[in-house]
């Protein structure tokens, strides 16, 4: 007793899972997806991921210092933002533009609102939305997967000098002598030519697309592992997928020649990555049990509506951002019924 | 020792590692097959009950001095009827109830009143208490008894006898038992719910009482049935004590309307409202009492004492206390005279080394004491001693709320602790009570337990409630004519 006993208030027991552990586990779950992106798209993807993650960390550190909030990098949430952002960009995206996206995402999407916990929208998607508007050409310039020599040479557009137009990749792609390369993703091919890429290819990721969105099966495995670790609310991705299928199914039944099949909808584009790793962002999603289901269904449904009827090829990003904005409203609509009340 | 630290690394069973995965799956199947009832939400803290569950109740010697606070129960404090220097015999009344919602006190030992003054309590402020110097040479026989048959007494006399015995809720609530036996006008009690859940980690005193004091417990249930005019009694026991379930079932006479129901092992299953919704599938209305749904809930310890004391006309002078925790050398269950200082109790069980924290009650809702001179009162079901390096005492960084929603999934009364926490920080105390049902919170601690941001939610709510209470009292004072 000489050293004195502690006086604290109950509860005196505490579960050991903390915010930094949750965030580190999400980073761990994203690493296989990042590794697949590097294997698929080579050095350029590696540089892209390093740039977005690095700039995101630096931005976080800068704003934490300016606002006097101490070291907020140590909660690891900014690493998720940086990694996710890189995974949603085309593999040959100019690095300077990626740096802009990471800066804007963390600065406007997170620091401006007061840092972790206070952001309304997913910071990675805020950054991506910014560059989608600012650099429409670069963000729709796709390069083939598994290009020969991808581990020794860099996609020309990657090293575009800052503030310059992206270096065209057409000549470089032509030099690769690939058969059947059209410069479009399966999503665009389906939308404009109504040709569905074989399911096995979209499922396994043997296709073109953003660095980390190609392999549906890999994202599914990583997401399921995260959910099993209780670090991810499985109801969100499941309801996103359910919402997408619910809207896609009737159209496909109506005319399978024009409209995509539900499984193509699920496995193509960024839907899988968005559902498992971005819609599920705890901060930007509703807190109530029935709220997350509404939120997920809304994202899934809106994604397919944009894909089928919008001007854009992919709709997951705007669907999630819009749902993020609706999150607090959904939460307040779906307050739990208190014990003993009618 | 090593094993011990490893077990404490996580206070949360499902995350204790995959080594016990098979055990968890097994338990899951047991629950599926047995289908034990429970309430919505809640948490699964590591139980640590194995430390004392097998330890039979032992009597402890008397301390040199006993400290009997006059306010050990909910309601009005008792009024002393003894003088300093007066000699008292074990069991003799030393304070009386001066109100319906109050109880008398009885001398826990033969001795002399040394002083009537202020004594430290777990709640914080010093409160008036009777200091009793024990005569160690005395026989300590209880001379104050008056044999009678509760089966032949009328309802009014039983309720008076329960008050005279000084009985309060021994599960920790400390609400005078006789008050619960008289439902408000217009309410009829049909079911006596006997609470044998004991959902707090470490505590096993109720478990031992069900095993060892079965006869007096059954007698107590019969008295409660008679006093409340209820048709039936159900004993709710968590399914980590299935031995107690079968033990009780085997000993319950067939002609009595008493049954035993195993409920899921989940915290806070032993909270009155949670037990009611688990066993009877009904909810106590907001702002209401169990009597509103025709139920009266009594702890097994309370009824065992009732069955013991009433037929002899005696008062409550001792209770069973679990003394446990990683800092304790010989943990166990002890029959402790009311007023025994915690220091004496810990001396008796021995300590392994320096103390980190001492908790009266269980670790989820109990109070950390500021002094070991604090006495065991009627509501103290356990004394849990932690070592200084216990993970429960680790300094934890507080992060902003990340809206993970874990607290909403944990809250047994389905509040929104995440939102309430933000409102507390913004000092919107009236919004907390008005729109987010703060008053329904009974401070079980589930939200703070699960919060990955280490936000002290339960403490926030405690403060908010007391600020609201103060504001309400000020308003009432203002409205009174000058």
How do residues A88-134 score in pLDDT, each as one tens digit?
999 999 999 999 999 999 999 999 999 999 999 999 999 999 999 99
In a shared domain, residues A167 and A193: no
CB-CB contact of A239 with A297 (8 Å): yes
- A283 vs B contacts (CB less than 8 Å): 402-403
In B, which residues are within 8 Å of A20 by CB distance? Answer: 399
Residue A1 lies in a domain: no
* Domain end (from A128, A152, A178): A178
In a domain, B439, yes or no: yes
Q: What is the pLDDT of residues B43-96, one digit of tens each?
A: 999 999 999 999 999 999 999 999 999 999 999 999 999 999 999 999 999 999
Residues B420 and B306 in one domain: no
User: Is residue B323 included in any domain, yes or no?
Assistant: no
Residue A48 forms part of a structural domain: yes
Subunit contact B402:A3, Cβ cutoff 8 A? no
Q: Do B402 and A292 touch (CB under 8 A)?
A: no
The top-scoring range by mean pLDDT among A196-200, A268-272, B334-338 is B334-338
Least confident stretch, B19-33, B347-361, B417-431: B19-33
Same domain? A56 vs A25: yes
Cβ contact (<8 Å) for B416 and A292?
A: no
Residue B2 has pLDDT above 50, yes or no: no
> Which residue, B254, B277, B311, sits at the end of a domain?
B311
A-B CB pairs within 8 A amount to 184
How many Å apart are CA A33 and CA A83, to the nearest integer?
Answer: 10
pTM score, two decimals?
Answer: 0.89
Residues of A within 8 A of B420 (CB-CB) are none
Q: Taking a C-beta distance cutoff of 8 angstroms, is the pair B410, B446 a contact?
A: yes
CA geometry: angle B339, B342, B348, nearest 5 deg: 105
Q: Which of A133, A153, A178 is the last residue of a domain?
A: A178
CA distance B315 to chain A (A): 31
Strand partners for B199: none
| CATH code of the domain in which B307 resides | 3.40.50.11540
CA A122 remoteness from chain centre: 9
- Contact B364/A at CB under 8 A: yes
Inter-residue contact B408 to B448 (CB < 8 Å): no
Structure confidence by residue, pLDDT tens digits, B123-160: 778 899 999 999 998 888 887 778 888 888 899 999 99
B433 lies in the same domain as B284? no
- Give the pLDDT mean for A279-297: 94
Q: Which residues of B touch A230 (CB under 8 A)?
A: 14-15
* B279 found inside a domain: yes
Q: Indicate if B282 and B175 belong to the same structural domain.
A: yes
Confirm whether A340 is domain-assigned.
no
pLDDT of residue B270: 94
Residue B172 and residue B442 in contact, taking contact as beta carbons nearer than 8 Å: no
> Would A9 be classed as within a structural domain?
no
Q: Tell me the shortest Cα–Cα distance from A291 to chain B, in angstroms.
A: 11
Residues A117, A250 within the same domain: no
pLDDT at site B21 = 59
The closest alpha carbon to B93, from B85, B77, B104, B101, belongs to: B104
User: Has residue A4 been placed in a domain?
Assistant: no
What average pLDDT does this structure show over A77-83? 96
Same domain, A173 and A193: no
Q: Is residue B122 one of the residues assigned to a domain?
A: no
For B:396-425, CB contacts with A below 8 A are 396-397, 399-405, 408-409, 411-416, 418-419
- For chain A, the average pLDDT equals 91
% chain A with pLDDT above 90: 67
Position B345 in a domain: no
| Residue A266 domain boundaries | 184-334
A192 within a domain of the structure (yes/no): yes
User: What's the pLDDT at B172?
Assistant: 83
Q: How confident is the model at residue B29 (pLDDT cuts 50, 70, 90)?
A: low
| Cβ distance of B388 and A3 shorter than 8 Å | yes
- Residue B189 backbone dihedrals phi, psi, to 5 degrees: -90, 120
A105 and A20 within one domain = yes
Q: What is the mean pLDDT of chain B?
A: 90
Flag whether B105 is in a domain: no
pLDDT tens string B313-331? 999 999 999 999 999 999 9
Q: Is A7 on the interface with B (CB under 8 A)?
A: yes
Structural tokens at position B36: 């034990």
In this complex, do B405 and A282 lie within 8 Å of one another by their Cβ atoms?
yes
Query: Domain ends where: B311, B337, B365?
Result: B311
Backbone angles phi, psi at B243, to 5 degrees: -65, -40
What is the number of structural domains in chain A? 2
State the DSSP string of B37-70. B--SS-B-B---GGGTTT--EEEPPPPSEEEEES
Distance from CA of A300 to the nearest CA of B (A): 21
Which among B455, B419, B453, B451 has a CA at the least distance from the CA of B438? B419
A122 and A197 housed in the same domain: no
pLDDT at A149: 85
In a domain? residue B454 = yes
Torsion angles phi and psi, residue B388, rounded to 5: -60, -30
* Residue contact B372–A17, C-beta within 8 A: no
User: Domain check: are A113 and A36 in the same one?
Assistant: yes
The domain tally of chain B equals: 2
Instruction: Scan residues 14-43 of A and list those with Cβ closer than 8 Å to B.
Output: 14-22
Give chain A positions within 8 Å (CB) of B357.
5-8, 12
Question: What pLDDT score does B26 carry?
Answer: 58
Flag whether A7 is in a domain: no
| B263: in domain | yes
- Co-location of B281 and B419 in the same domain: no
- Say whether both B305 and B412 belong to one domain: no
pLDDT digits (tens, 9 = 90+) for A1-43: 445 666 788 899 988 889 999 999 999 999 999 999 999 999 9
Residues A149 and A263 in one domain: no
pLDDT at position B6 is 35
Q: Is residue A341 part of a domain?
A: no
pLDDT value of position B5: 36
**B325 in reach of chain A (CB within 8 A):** no
pLDDT class of B390 with cuts at 50, 70, 90: confident
Q: Are residues A92 and A239 in the same domain?
A: no
List the single best residue of B353, B403, B413, B445 to mutate versus A (max A Cβ within 10 A): B403
DSSP letter string, B375-423:
BP-TT--EEEEE-TT-GGGS--PPPPP----HHHHH-TT---HHHHHHH
Residue B152's CB: how many other CB atoms inside 10 A? 8
Report the percentage of chain B scoring pLDDT > 70. Answer: 93
Quick check: A4 contacting B, CB < 8 Å?
no
The DSSP bridge pattern shows strands B318-324 and B332-337 to be: antiparallel
Distance of CA A50 to the CA centre of its chain: 16
Q: Which domain holds residue B258?
A: 150-311
Last residue of a domain, one of B311, B332, B366: B311
């Amino acid at each position: 007793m000489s050293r004195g006993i502690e006086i604290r208030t109950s509860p005196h027991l505490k579960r050991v899972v903390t915010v930094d552990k949750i965030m580190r586990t999400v980073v761990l779950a994203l690493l296989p997806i990042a590794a697949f992106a590097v294997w698929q798209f080579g050095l350029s993807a590696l540089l892209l991921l390093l740039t977005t993650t690095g700039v995101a960390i630096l931005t976080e550190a800068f704003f934490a210092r300016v606002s006097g909030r101490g070291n907020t990098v140590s909660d690891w949430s900014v690493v998720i933002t940086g990694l996710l952002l890189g995974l949603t960009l085309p593999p040959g995206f100019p690095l300077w533009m990626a740096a802009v996206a990471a800066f804007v995402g963390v600065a406007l999407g997170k620091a401006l609102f007061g840092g972790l916990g206070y952001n309304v929208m997913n910071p990675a998607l805020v950054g991506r939305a910014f560059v989608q508007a600012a650099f429409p050409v670069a963000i729709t310039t796709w390069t083939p997967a598994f290009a020969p020599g991808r581990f020794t040479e860099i996609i020309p557009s990657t090293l575009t000098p800052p503030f310059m137009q992206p270096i065209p990749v057409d000549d470089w792609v032509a030099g690769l002598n690939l058969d059947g390369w059209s410069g479009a993703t399966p999503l665009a091919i389906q939308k404009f030519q109504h040709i569905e890429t074989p399911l096995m290819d979209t499922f396994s990721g043997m296709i073109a697309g953003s660095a980390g969105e190609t392999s549906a099966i890999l994202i599914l495995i990583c997401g399921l592992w995260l959910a099993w670790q209780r670090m991810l609310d499985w109801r969100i991705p499941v309801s996103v997928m359910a919402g997408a299928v619910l809207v896609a199914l009737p159209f496909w039944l109506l005319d399978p020649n024009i409209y995509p099949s539900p499984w193509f909808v699920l496995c193509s584009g960024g839907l899988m990555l968005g559902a498992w790793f971005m819609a599920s962002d705890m901060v930007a999603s509703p807190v109530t049990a029935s709220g997350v289901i509404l939120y997920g269904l809304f994202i899934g449904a809106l994604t397919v509506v944009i894909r089928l009827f919008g001007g854009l090829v992919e709709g997951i990003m705007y669907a999630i951002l819009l749902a993020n904005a609706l999150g607090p409203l959904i939460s307040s609509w779906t307050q739990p019924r208190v014990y003993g009340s009618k | 020792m090593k094993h011990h630290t490893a077990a404490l690394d996580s206070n949360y069973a499902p995350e204790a590692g995959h080594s016990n995965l098979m055990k968890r799956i097994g338990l899951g199947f047991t629950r599926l097959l047995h289908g034990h009832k429970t309430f919505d939400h809640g948490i699964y803290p590591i139980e640590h009950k194995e430390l004392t569950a097998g330890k039979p109740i032992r009597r402890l010697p008397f301390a040199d001095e006993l400290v009997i606070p006059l306010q050990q129960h909910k309601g009005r404090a008792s009024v002393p009827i003894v003088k300093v220097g007066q000699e008292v015999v074990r069991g003799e009344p030393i304070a009386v109830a001066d109100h319906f919602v109050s109880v008398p006190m009885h001398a826990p030992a033969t001795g002399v009143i040394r002083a009537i003054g202020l004594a430290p309590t777990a709640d914080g402020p010093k409160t008036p208490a009777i200091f009793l110097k024990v005569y160690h040479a005395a026989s300590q026989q209880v001379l104050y008894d008056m044999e009678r048959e509760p089966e032949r007494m009328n309802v009014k006399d039983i309720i008076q006898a329960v008050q005279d015995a000084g009985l309060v809720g021994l599960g920790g609530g400390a609400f005078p038992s006789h008050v619960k036996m008289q439902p408000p006008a217009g309410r009829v009690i049909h079911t006596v719910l006997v609470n044998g859940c004991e959902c707090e980690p470490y505590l096993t005193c109720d478990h031992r009482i069900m095993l060892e004091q079965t006869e007096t417990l059954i007698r107590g249930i019969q008295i409660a049935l008679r006093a409340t005019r209820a048709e039936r009694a159900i004993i709710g026991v968590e399914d980590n004590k299935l031995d107690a379930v079968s033990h009780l079932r085997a000993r319950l006479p067939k002609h009595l309307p008493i049954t035993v129901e195993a409920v899921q092992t989940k915290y806070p299953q032993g909270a009155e409202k949670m037990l009611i919704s688990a066993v009877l599938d009904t909810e106590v209305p907001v702002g209401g009492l169990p009597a509103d749904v025709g139920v009266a809930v009594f702890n097994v310890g309370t009824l065992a004492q009732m069955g013991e004391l009433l037929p002899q006309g005696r008062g409550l002078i001792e209770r069973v206390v679990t003394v446990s925790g990683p800092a304790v050398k010989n943990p166990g269950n002890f029959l402790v005279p009311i007023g025994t200082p915690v220091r004496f109790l810990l001396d008796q069980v021995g300590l392994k080394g320096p103390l980190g924290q001492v908790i009266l009650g269980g670790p989820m809702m109990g109070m950390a004491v500021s002094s070991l001179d604090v006495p065991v009162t009627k509501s103290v079901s356990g004394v849990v001693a932690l070592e200084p390096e216990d993970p429960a005492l680790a300094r934890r960084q507080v992060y902003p709320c990340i809206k993970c929603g874990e607290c909403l999934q944990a809250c047994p009364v389905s509040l929104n602790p995440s939102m309430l926490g933000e409102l507390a920080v913004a000092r919107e105390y009236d919004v907390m009570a008005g729109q987010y049902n703060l008053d329904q919170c009974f401070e079980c601690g589930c939200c703070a337990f699960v919060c990955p941001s280490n936000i002290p939610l339960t403490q926030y709510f405690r403060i908010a409630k007391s600020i609201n209470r103060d504001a309400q009292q000020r308003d009432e004072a203002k409205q009174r004519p000058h």
